[in-house]
C-alpha cells in the first residue's frame, strides 16, 4: 500500500515540477526537481528484499548519485560526473544480474552505432562552439551510459531495459539541445523521459519471489 501511494506521489510531483513550478526562485525550482528523486529512492529502498544483496545496494547508490547529479547540473561537469558515477553503479548492478544470450548481446551493435553517431555530432558541435575542453568528459559519458544500457538489456529484466533506454533518450535530448541544436519544449521531453527512466530502473529491484509476475523478463531465447 505504501509503495503504491509512493508511485502515485512520484508521478504527481514529477508532473508538478515539469508543468507547474516556475523557474524562479531558483532554489525552489531545485527543491521541486529533487523531490521526485527522493521519492523514487525511497520507493526503491522499499522494493528491496529483506536479504539485500550487493546488486540491490549498487542500484540504490546509482539512484543516489543521479539525485546528486540533479542538484549539481548548474555546474555541468560536476553534475555530469555525479551522473557518470551513478551509471557505473547501475552498470555494476546489472552485470551481477546478467542472463546472457546471443540476441541480447547483439544489441551492442545498434547501441554502439548510436553512441558513435551521437559522439561525432557532439564533438563537431563542441569544436564549432569553442568548447573543446568538454569533448573528453562528454565522450566518456556517452560511452559509460551506452554500456549501462547494454548491460541492462543483458539482464533480461524488462524494467531495467526500459529504464536504461529512457535514460539514454533523456540524456541524448539534453546533450543535443545543449550542444547541437534547439529542440521544441526541451524541458518537458528531457524531464518526462528522465523521471520515467529512474522509476523503471527502481522497479527493476522487484524480485520474482515477491510476486509471480512482479519482475517481467524477456523469454530466455531472447
Residue 221, classified by CB atoms within 10 Å of its CB into exposed (0-12), middle (13-18) or buried (19+), is exposed
Residue listed under C-alpha cell 547483439: 106
Integer CA distances (angstroms), 209 to 48, 49, 52, 59, 99, in order: 11, 9, 13, 19, 17
d(CA 164, CA 172) in angstroms, rounded, equals 12
pLDDT at 140 over 70: yes
Residue 52 banded pLDDT, cuts 50, 70, 90? confident
- Cβ atoms of 36 and 17 within 8 Å: the answer is yes
Residues 6+ apart with CB under 8 A from 132: 126
Enter the pTM of the model.
Answer: 0.91
3-state secondary structure of 205: coil
pLDDT for 208: 59
What is the pLDDT, as a whole number, of residue 215?
A: 61
CB crowding 122-135: b at 16 or more within 10 Å, else e? bbebbeeeeeeebe
Contact 142, 113 (CB under 8 A): no
Residue whose C-alpha cell is 550542444? 179
User: Using CA atoms, how far apart are residues 76 and 117, in angstroms rounded to an integer?
Assistant: 22
The predicted-structure confidence for 64-80, as pLDDT tens digits, reads as follows: 999 999 999 989 999 99
Query: Rounded to the nearest 5 degrees, what angle is found at the Cα of 123, between the Cα atoms of 160 and 193?
Result: 30
Distance (Å, whole) CA 106 – CA 197: 23
Where residue 219 falls among pLDDT bands split at 50, 70, 90? low
Q: What CA–CA distance (Å, rounded) separates 112 from 1?
A: 41
Contacts of 186 (CB under 8 A, 6+ apart): 173, 174, 177
- The per-residue pLDDT for 12 is 97
Amino acid at each position: 500500500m505504501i509503495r503504491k501511494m509512493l508511485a502515485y506521489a512520484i508521478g504527481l510531483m514529477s508532473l508538478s515540477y515539469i508543468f507547474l513550478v516556475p523557474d524562479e526562485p531558483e532554489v525552489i525550482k531545485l527543491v521541486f526537481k529533487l523531490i521526485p528523486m527522493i521519492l523514487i529512492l525511497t520507493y526503491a529502498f522499499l522494493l528491496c528484499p529483506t536479504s539485500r544483496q550487493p546488486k540491490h545496494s549498487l542500484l540504490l547508490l546509482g539512484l543516489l548519485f543521479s539525485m546528486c547529479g540533479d542538484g549539481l547540473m548548474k555546474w555541468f561537469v560536476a553534475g555530469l560526473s555525479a551522473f557518470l558515477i551513478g551509471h557505473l553503479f547501475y552498470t555494476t548492478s546489472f552485470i551481477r544480474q546478467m542472463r546472457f544470450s546471443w540476441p541480447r548481446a547483439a544489441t551492442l551493435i545498434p547501441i554502439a552505432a548510436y553512441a558513435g553517431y551521437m559522439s561525432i555530432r557532439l564533438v563537431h558541435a563542441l569544436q564549432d562552439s569553442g568548447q573543446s575542453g568538454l569533448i573528453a568528459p562528454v565522450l566518456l559519458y556517452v560511452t559509460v551510459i551506452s554500456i549501462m544500457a547494454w548491460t541492462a538489456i543483458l539482464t533480461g529484466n524488462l524494467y531495467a531495459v526500459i529504464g536504461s533506454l529512457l535514460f539514454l533518450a533523456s540524456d541524448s535530448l539534453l546533450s543535443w539541445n545543449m550542444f547541437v541544436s534547439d529542440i521544441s519544449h526541451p524541458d518537458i521531453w528531457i524531464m518526462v523521459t528522465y523521471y520515467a527512466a529512474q522509476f523503471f530502473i527502481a522497479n527493476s529491484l522487484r524480485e520474482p519471489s515477491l510476486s509471480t509476475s512482479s519482475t517481467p523478463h524477456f523469454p530466455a531465447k531472447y
